Structure 1
Amino acid sequence: MRHAGLLLPVLLLAACGQSGEGGASGAEPDGEAAVSDAVAADEASLGPKDMIDLQASGITVPAQDGDETLEVPFGSLREATEATLAGVLGDVLSRQEYEECPGGPLAVTEYAGLSLTFNEDDRFVGWFARAPYTPADSRSAMLAADGVMLEEDSTLGEEFTIGDPAGPIISGLFAGEGDDAAVEALWAGTNCIFR
């Protein structure tokens, strides 16, 4: 088994999604964050690299196997984004077009556990994560961390945010209201989420 690590600088994180054939997601969050616990993932579902850092401003692939750190910030071109992340995320499961998203039309490239969102200009504008890219921390552990706040009036369910509300944030959903509820999804940037 491989480990898909998400490092959370000063304990931050979040995500959510919907799919047609593969998947899509949505929201407008951001904030330099990733998850502190490594999450086990099946080798067949991931590429040859072991880790990514999901951040409020994009995705970073830490230096591994002698390779350099790779930065994929929001605003990167789709072709370059997909090429850079191909060795980490594995095979593309599907590509979807969503014409009626709250922020306008979006295209989504779906991988096992992670969706990348692109705007009409083919720019990388968001990500949406599920297992194995979500933290193993419980709801109580997450909410005890600095910078993690429950969204009281969310229409999505048990939504939370990570980061300074004045800056880019990561958003997420807990699987329920109990202290031991798992993190179900995380997202940052622009996604196709209807509130």
Structure 2
Amino acid sequence: MIRIASLTVPMLLAACSEAPLPNAATANGTVAAEAVEDDSEAVADNMAAPMESAEPLLNIAPEALSLVDPRSGRTRQLAFGTAREITLTGATAALGKPSDTGRNGECGEGAMEFVEFGGLTLWFQQDKFVGWFLEGAKPKLTTATGAGIGSTRSQVADALAISDVPDSSLGREFATDKGDFSGLLDGAGDGAKVTALWSGQACIFR
């Protein structure tokens, strides 16, 4: 797994929503979650309330993860800044037990702890969720618009305003215009496929 020198985006307060989503499923069958407004005081209560399904689905998002109830389409947003315990409770409910945990003391923003769920790595600093990194085929996760590992550059660009990052030491790198979502491609052109995605303080060494 790539560990990159820390890429920082603005930290958001934890957010949540139980409103039904207008587009609860993507073309590949993945339930999708939309961004919601910040409401940090409601996170703990929202996470404690039982979902209709004991196994929510998980989606990646710029500056967040989203839990989605497959029965109702309700979503709970785990934005950067959410407490580690709340974040891991949600991720474990969706993905099962972590495959690895550890600490990296050489990140650009200071020492960070990580928890891995197969190809998804969650990063924490001072017991707060600060970033995620995704690579590999499992778990199969996408954004609300269906972008994930294996998507083409044109598919990502149709949903997100992206641009190439010049002279990246990681390879063919792209980022959203706001800088809150980044990824790697296996080649040039619209047909190039995504091999990695990340957001926030992902401890990636360049």
Runs of 5+ in structure 1 lacking a partner? 1-16, 41-46
Give the equivalent residue in structure 2 for 1:192. Answer: 203
Which aligned runs of 4 or more in structure 1 are off by greater than 4 angstroms? Answer: 143-146
Match status 1:86 vs 2:92: yes
Q: Is the 8 A contact 2:5 2:108 kept in 1?
A: no
Match status 1:155 vs 2:160: no
Separation in 2, partners of 1:110, 1:39: 24
Identity across aligned pairs (percent)?
A: 30
Q: Is the 8 A contact 1:101 1:192 kept in 2?
A: yes
Separation in 1, partners of 2:107, 2:160: 32
How many residues are paired up?
160
Distance 1:122 1:174, change over 3 A: same
Runs of 5+ in structure 2 lacking a partner? 12-25, 31-53, 142-147
Separation in 2, partners of 1:53, 1:163: 21
Give the CA RMSD over aligned residues.
Answer: 2.8
TM-superposed CA distance for 1:70, in Å, is 1.4
Give the equivalent residue in structure 2 for 1:128. Answer: 133
TM-score scaled by length of structure 2:
0.66
Q: Highest relative contact order (Cα 8 Å, sep 6+), 1 or 2?
A: 1
Structure index of larger Rg: 2
Distance 1:89 1:25, change over 3 A: farther
Give the equivalent residue in structure 1 for 2:23. Answer: none
TM-superposed CA distance for 1:155, in Å, is 1.6
Give deviations 1:6-53, integer Å, cap 9, x for gaps. xxxxxxxxxxx526xxxx88522479xxxx66388xxxxxx933x333
TM-score scaled by length of structure 1:
0.70
Separation in 1, partners of 2:203, 2:149: 22
Separation in 1, partners of 2:108, 2:98: 25
